[in-house]
């Protein structure tokens, strides 16, 4: 059975731009920006951007999955500073909670 296209493929091509610390679409219009913390052991996902013309195509989710996959394969923990990731992506994809960074609360006792 053939399916129609809406301008985006289900498997959007996401590129890791290590120099600029972001994951982006091939055209560089949509991206997820991150910062490394704790000596490079924690990836703080600070901002996700999808231009208005490309919203509703699942690009933010594709970018976030690519970043989480990278974090997991590189043994990094994730801080979901970006509100899309913390308020939308994680609640919809709770299996990624295992990659999240939690400060050691015992050290403050």
Question: Tens digit of pLDDT for each residue in 23-70?
Answer: 999 999 999 999 999 999 999 999 999 999 999 999 999 999 999 999
Question: Tens digit of pLDDT for each residue in 53-65?
Answer: 999 999 999 999 9
Residue 4: pLDDT over 50: no
Work out the pLDDT band at 106, boundaries 50, 70, 90: low
The tokens describing 46, both together, are 């600070």
The tokens describing 60, both together, are 């933010």
The tokens describing 28, both together, are 């560089």
Q: One of 43, 82, 90, 99 is an active-site residue; which one?
A: 82
Residue 1: pLDDT over 50: no
Domains of the chain with CATH codes: 14-101 (3.40.630.30)
Show Cβ contacts of residue 21 under 8 Å, excluding neighbours closer than 6 positions.
33, 34, 35, 36
Model pTM? Answer: 0.84
How high is the pLDDT of residue 11? 63
Residue 3: pLDDT over 50: no
How high is the pLDDT of residue 103? 76
> For this structure, is 31 an active site residue?
no
3-state secondary structure the chain: CCCCCCCCCCCCCEEEECCCCEEEECCCCCEEEEEEEHHHCEEEEEEEECCHHHCCCCHHHHHHHHHHHHHHHCCCEEECCCHHHHHHHHHHCHHHHHHECCCCHHHHC
Longest CA span, the chain:
61
Position with higher pLDDT, 49 vs 105: 49
């Amino acid at each position: 059975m053939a399916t129609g296209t809406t301008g985006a493929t289900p498997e959007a091509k996401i590129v890791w731009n290590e120099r600029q610390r972001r994951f982006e679409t091939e055209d560089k219009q949509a991206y997820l920006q991150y910062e490394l913390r704790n000596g490079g052991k924690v990836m703080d996902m600070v901002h996700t951007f999808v231009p208005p013309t490309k919203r509703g195509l699942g690009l933010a989710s594709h970018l976030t999955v690519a970043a989480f996959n990278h974090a997991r394969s590189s043994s990094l923990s994730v801080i979901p500073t970006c509100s899309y990731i913390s308020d939308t992506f994680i609640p919809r994809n709770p299996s990624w909670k295992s990659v999240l960074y939690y400060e050691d609360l015992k050290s403050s006792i």
